[in-house]
């Protein structure tokens, strides 16, 4: 049997040969001329000259091979109680007809379509329909505020938006249409059409001449066939937080994406075609793109589309019900979900109510998994629990434990070992490799493997500056960590100001911009503080303008509401400390790192360049009033 070590070594020594073999798992209309085009570094391209269609590979080909009656999608809504089983044949009919709806509205190859949807089958259908005709979809998470949606509309410049009347959260209905209407009203670019799915829980008001009804359009649509596209053509744009507050449009191409995800399903996640695979995420995030939609369907799995929460819908046994009822073989979710389950059911009593005999592996990603949570899950479920690490930018795992090749020893706190094609380095400030056990910046030597971002949407220079300028010849992940003596990777923190709240990367700089817009605020700083449930939470230090005498509690509520309105509830923003001044260096740089160490009760040193050491006493007191800095200790020196 070929081992992980042998596969990994070959992927770095002969990347063209290795990935050409993996490409055999994909249907090509025209085979590629070159596996890797390295003629214009650092802009590398995979499978140049190849022609294919991602929708064909995800849907049609399984029907052609006699598996049309296999379930492709299981829709399970804990919010409504609805369940649907959609076979590959039924999925092809729905996707082909919605592709006809798009075609009738003038959407063709290269046009952008924004999908602003809840977790319903129509979201997946819209994505696949875009892929079918060569349009580029950009899915925006339904919980994002109008301001954030408008920024994405302006950057992607879509001809059309697909949305729904509402999303559902425990105990409340979230109307989407007012958010969409507001976003279009404030965006510079105006989409020509909106297609709305009317859900029974809320009816959306339609704008005559612009808005179209999903069901009415589907009723009169003619199905269309798959359109050939180049392997290097964009499949989708997915926006992630940028440090400036302006979102970065990650581009994913057709060819490398299909090859990498197909390889990952068997080799990383250890599932075979026909088995049920569940990624408990949202289609608005990269996990939803890669492992609710494209990965499982390209590989011929049954994928679960779950509308609900790990707790409260109705209890902390929600995940076990889904696994048992739908015979799930592998689950992929965020550590946050398991921390919430552990909090509600620490003894794991609800696990014992369900038959989990078909369940083999739990995969966690999205933020670092603390060892306690991993060991708790392993003990209660009796299966391997794999913490793995990747990013929106990479589209699939940088580091993992490849259970489909061999189950390597599990080290709690580590995301295991690099996957094929990822030449991972731990570098010091000068770009030199650091010894085992020593912290450094995690970088990936170019070229990146297939499936990763080739650039940013209409922003090649920003791609270079954001990811490739710090260490020439390397992609900077923005994470810091170390390797142990066995080569296992430990990702410990972010190196920039992007914090990770329950698996969602959010820019503290963007939050600072929102807070600074408040009329009473003179200056502010936002840091990420450790949180047992969500991994990190944003905490703001705010200095009010001179002469402001308003009640501080009122100002705090306004600031929280302002962030919720501009960024959305996903930021989980509620911690605000109003202080007289911020600690800074003599050059004016705010000492965010020191404040974070005090907040997290980790040892800290007085910065040599601080302009006034007494300010940190006020910061510590403000943190204690919010429940932080209980055991902060200052080191000498």
Check residue 52 and give its pLDDT: 99
Could you count the other beta carbons within 10 Å of the beta carbon of residue 609? 10
Helix orientation angle between 592-599 and 615-625, rounded to the nearest 10 degrees: 40
**Is 434 domain-assigned?**
no
**Is 527 domain-assigned?**
yes
Q: Are 46 and 235 in contact (CB under 8 A)?
A: no
What the block records as the tokens of 596 is 């974070």
CATH of the domain at 104: 3.40.50.980
Closest CA to 426 of 479, 467, 466, 349: 479
With a CB cutoff of 8 Å and minimum separation 6, the contacts of 514 are: 562, 563, 566, 567
With a CB cutoff of 8 Å and minimum separation 6, the contacts of 243 are: 496, 497, 498, 507, 509
Q: How many angstroms separate the Cα of 317 from the Cα of each of 14, 309, 337, 498? A: 46, 10, 12, 32
Check residue 480 and give its pLDDT: 87
Check residue 591 and give its pLDDT: 86
Q: How many angstroms separate the Cα of 280 from the Cα of each of 216, 372, 526? A: 31, 21, 29
Check residue 635 and give its pLDDT: 59
Q: How many angstroms separate the Cα of 107 from the Cα of each of 110, 158, 238? A: 9, 10, 19
Which one of 227, 261, 278 terminates a domain? 227
With a CB cutoff of 8 Å and minimum separation 6, the contacts of 493 are: 479, 480, 481
**CA–CA gap between residue 221 and residue 103 (Å, rounded):** 9
Check residue 633 and give its pLDDT: 61
Which one of 227, 256, 279 terminates a domain? 227
**Is 138 domain-assigned?**
yes
Rg value, the chain, Cα:
24
Per the listing, tokens 């570094």 go with 41
What the block records as the tokens of 527 is 């840091």
β partners of residue 221:
none
Check residue 586 and give its pLDDT: 60
Q: Are 606 and 633 in contact (CB under 8 A)?
A: no
CATH of the domain at 546: 3.30.300.30
SS3 74: strand
**CA–CA gap between residue 338 and residue 330 (Å, rounded):** 15
**Helix (H), strand (E), coil (C) string for 206-251:** CCCCCEEEHHHHHHCCCCCCCCCEECCCEEEEEEECCCCCCCEEEE
Ramachandran area for residue 270 (φ above 0: left; ψ -120 to 50: alpha; else beta)? left
**Is 519 domain-assigned?**
yes
**Is 90 domain-assigned?**
yes
Which one of 178, 204, 227 terminates a domain? 227
pTM of the predicted model as reported, rounded to 2 decimal places: 0.87
Q: Are 537 and 529 in contact (CB under 8 A)?
A: yes
**Is 568 domain-assigned?**
yes
What the block records as the tokens of 456 is 């940013």
Check residue 361 and give its pLDDT: 98
How many CA atoms, within 13 angstroms, populate the side-chain half-sphere of residue 190? 5
**CA–CA gap between residue 336 and residue 418 (Å, rounded):** 23
**Is 606 domain-assigned?**
yes
Q: What is the mean pLDDT of each run of 10 residues along the chain (637 residues)?
A: 95 98 98 98 98 99 98 98 98 98 98 98 98 98 87 97 95 94 98 98 97 97 98 96 74 98 98 98 95 98 97 95 98 90 91 97 89 92 97 97 98 96 96 93 97 98 96 95 95 75 78 88 88 90 89 95 89 93 74 88 78 86 87 58
Range of the domain at 160: 82-227
**Is 39 domain-assigned?**
no
Read off the pLDDT of residues 491-515 as tens digits, 9 standing for 90 and up. 877 776 677 888 876 778 778 878 9
What the block records as the tokens of 335 is 């550590």
Q: Are 188 and 154 in contact (CB under 8 A)?
A: yes
Cα distance from N-terminal residue to C-terminal residue, the chain: 55
User: Counting beta carbons within 10 angstroms of the beta carbon of residue 608, is it exposed (0 to 12), middle (13 to 18) or buried (19 or more)?
Assistant: exposed
The domain tally of the chain equals 2
């Amino acid at each position: 049997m070929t081992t992980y070590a042998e596969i990994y070594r070959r992927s770095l020594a002969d990347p063209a040969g290795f990935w050409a073999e993996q490409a055999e798992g994909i249907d090509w209309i025209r085979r590629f001329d070159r596996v890797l085009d390295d003629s214009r570094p650092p802009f590398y391209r995979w499978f140049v000259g190849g022609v294919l269609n991602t929708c064909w590979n995800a849907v049609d080909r399984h029907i052609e091979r006699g598996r049309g009656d296999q379930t492709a999608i299981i829709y399970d809504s804990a919010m409504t109680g609805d369940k649907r089983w959609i076979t590959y044949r039924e999925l092809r009919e729905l996707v082909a007809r919605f592709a006809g709806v798009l075609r009738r509205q003038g959407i063709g190859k290269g046009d952008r379509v924004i999908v602003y949807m809840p977790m319903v089958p129509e979201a997946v259908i819209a994505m696949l329909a875009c892929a079918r005709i060569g349009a580029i979809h950009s899915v925006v998470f339904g919980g994002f505020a109008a301001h954030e949606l408008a920024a994405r509309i302006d950057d992607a410049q879509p001809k059309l938006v697909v949305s729904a009347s509402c999303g559902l959260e425990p105990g409340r209905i979230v109307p989407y249409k007012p958010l969409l209407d507001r976003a279009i009203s404030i965006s510079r670019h105006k989409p020509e059409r909106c297609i709305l799915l009317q859900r029974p829980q809320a009816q959306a008001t339609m704008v005559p001449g612009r808005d179209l009804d999903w069901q009415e359009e589907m009723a009169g649509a003619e199905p269309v066939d798959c359109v050939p596209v180049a392997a290097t053509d964009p499949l989708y744009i997915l926006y992630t937080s940028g440090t400036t507050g302006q979102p970065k449009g990650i581009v994913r191409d057709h060819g490398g994406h299909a090859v990498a995800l197909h390889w990952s399903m068997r080799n990383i996640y250890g599932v075979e075609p026909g088995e049920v695979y569940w990624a408990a995420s949202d289609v608005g995030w990269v996990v939803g793109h890669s492992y609710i939609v494209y990965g499982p369907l390209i590989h011929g799995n049954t994928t679960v589309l779950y509308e609900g929460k790990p707790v409260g819908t109705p209890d902390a046994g929600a995940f076990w019900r889904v696994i048992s009822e739908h015979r799930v073989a592998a689950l992929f979710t965020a550590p946050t979900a398991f921390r919430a389950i552990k909090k509600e059911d620490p003894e794991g009593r609800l696990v014992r109510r369900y038959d989990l005999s078909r369940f083999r592996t739990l995969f966690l990603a999205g933020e670092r998994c603390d060892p306690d949570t991993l060991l708790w899950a392993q003990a209660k479920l009796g299966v391997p629990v794999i913490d793995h690490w990747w990013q929106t930018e990479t589209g699939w795992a940088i580091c993992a434990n490849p259970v489909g090749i061999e189950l390597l020893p599990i080290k709690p706190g580590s995301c295991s070992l690099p996957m094929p094609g990822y030449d991972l380095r731990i570098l010091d400030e000068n770009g030199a490799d650091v010894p085992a056990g020593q912290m450094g910046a995690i970088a990936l030597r170019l070229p990146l493997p297939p499936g990763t971002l080739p650039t940013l949407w209409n922003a090649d220079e920003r791609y270079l500056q954001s990811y490739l300028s710090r260490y020439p010849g390397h992609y900077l992940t923005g994470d810091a960590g170390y390797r142990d003596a066995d080569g296992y990777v430990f990702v410990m923190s972010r190196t920039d100001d992007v914090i990770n709240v329950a698996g969602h990367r959010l820019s503290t700089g963007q939050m600072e911009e929102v807070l600074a817009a408040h009329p009473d605020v003179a200056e502010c700083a936002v840091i990420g503080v450790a949180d047992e449930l969500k991994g990190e939470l944003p905490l703001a230090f705010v200095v009010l303008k001179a002469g402001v005498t308003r009640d501080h509690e009122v100002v705090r509520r306004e600031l929280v509401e302002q962030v919720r309105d501009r960024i959305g509830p996903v930021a989980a923003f509620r911690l605000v400390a109003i202080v007289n001044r911020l600690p800074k260096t003599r050059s004016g740089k705010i000492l965010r790192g020191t404040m974070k160490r005090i907040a997290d009760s980790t040892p800290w040193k007085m910065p040599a360049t601080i302009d006034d050491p007494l300010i940190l006493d006020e910061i510590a007191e403000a943190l204690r009033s919010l429940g932080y800095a209980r055991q902060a200790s200052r080191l000498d020196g």
